Amino acid sequence: MIGMTKGQKAFSVFNLLFLTLLSLSMLYPFLYVLAGSFSSGQAISQGRVTVFPIDSTLANYTAVLSNPGIWRSFGVTLFITAAGTLVNLLLTALMAYGLSHRELKGRSLILILVLFTMIFQAPMIPSYLLVKSMAMLDTLWSLILPSAISAFNLIIMISFFQNIPQSLLDAAKIDGCGEYRTLWKVVLPLSIPSLCTIGLFYAVAHWNGYFQAVMYITKPKLYPLQLKLRQLIVENQAEQMMQTASLTLQSLEGIKMATIIIASVPILLVYPFIQKHFIKGAMLGSIKG
């Protein structure tokens, strides 16, 4: 704070305190659920749990992890997230590379149609009928293909591709590279920050995907983790886990909290590994070349 006026110092201190309190208020619900997942059912029912476990126990996680349905749903969600993100990145990169060329015929019309989908989304019934007509109901493809390209992510990638120096693309063509080889050998290696950023957006959307599964999936063996979580919390199927693990009725809330943590933590662990790419990609993708 050297060289700052008293007003600027006061504002900086106030800003720091405000943002700290705001961050803590957002972090508290997660810490409460995390503490509750390691606490006894009696401590939760008595309201003694805050941000630290009371009467620490692993019984809640034992009940959840011993349920085959959770593991099956976890595997389904992993497949959707991995395969879906790969499909998303591939199709988004291909479309963005073409639209990043300003000389492309019909480019303006295509961009207008892309922007139109950001403002006016397809209604629920036509979307369902489309998926049904393509024989994708009760298949995992119904959770991947309908959202294969996000208009927002597409625009970010187009902007990033346009920042790549044209001289590099010209040099690749002089060396005999076609469009696909130029994309694979030159453009994509330079676009790692953008790909990480968009890949994170897609992965989080797939991992937290819920509404599409409710619409298109009726077979319990294909339920993703978020839909299984809904069954436990809304439909009280946690009682079955509780009975299987020989727990008391008071453990019901603890089982729900443990399930929430299991469904949330894996995707949270991904972010620290790509944080530097995420920030760089978001910054570069927002700059017009």
Average pLDDT on 61-80 reads 88
In a domain, 35, yes or no: no
In a domain, 45, yes or no: no
Average pLDDT on 100-114 reads 89
The per-residue pLDDT for range 247-264, each reduced to its tens digit, is: 554 567 888 888 888 888
In a domain, 37, yes or no: no
Q: Is the pLDDT of residue 271 over 60?
A: yes
In a domain, 193, yes or no: yes
Question: Looking at residue 285, what is its pLDDT?
Answer: 46
In a domain, 20, yes or no: no
In a domain, 249, yes or no: yes
Question: Looking at residue 241, what is its pLDDT?
Answer: 56
In a domain, 19, yes or no: no
Out of 214-223, 244-253, 260-269, the most confident range is 214-223
Average pLDDT on 162-169 reads 84
In a domain, 215, yes or no: yes
CA distances from 124 to 5, 96, 104 (A): 56, 27, 33
Average pLDDT on 62-91 reads 90
Instruction: Report the number of distinct structural domains present in the chain.
Output: 1
Question: Looking at residue 287, what is its pLDDT?
Answer: 44
| Full residue range of the structural domain in which residue 113 is found | 66-285
Question: Looking at residue 83, what is its pLDDT?
Answer: 94
Backbone angles phi, psi at 67, to 5 degrees: -90, 120
Question: Looking at residue 21, what is its pLDDT?
Answer: 92
Question: Looking at residue 10, what is its pLDDT?
Answer: 84
pLDDT band at 210 (very low <50, low <70, confident <90, very high): confident
Question: Looking at residue 185, what is its pLDDT?
Answer: 85
pLDDT band at 286 (very low <50, low <70, confident <90, very high): very low
0.85 surpassed by pTM: no
Q: Is the pLDDT of residue 135 over 80?
A: yes
Question: Looking at residue 289, what is its pLDDT?
Answer: 41
Instruction: State the CATH number of the domain containing residue 109.
Output: 1.10.3720.10
Greater confidence, 237 or 53?
53
Question: Looking at residue 186, what is its pLDDT?
Answer: 86
Q: Is the pLDDT of residue 267 over 90?
A: no
Q: Is the pLDDT of residue 138 over 70?
A: yes
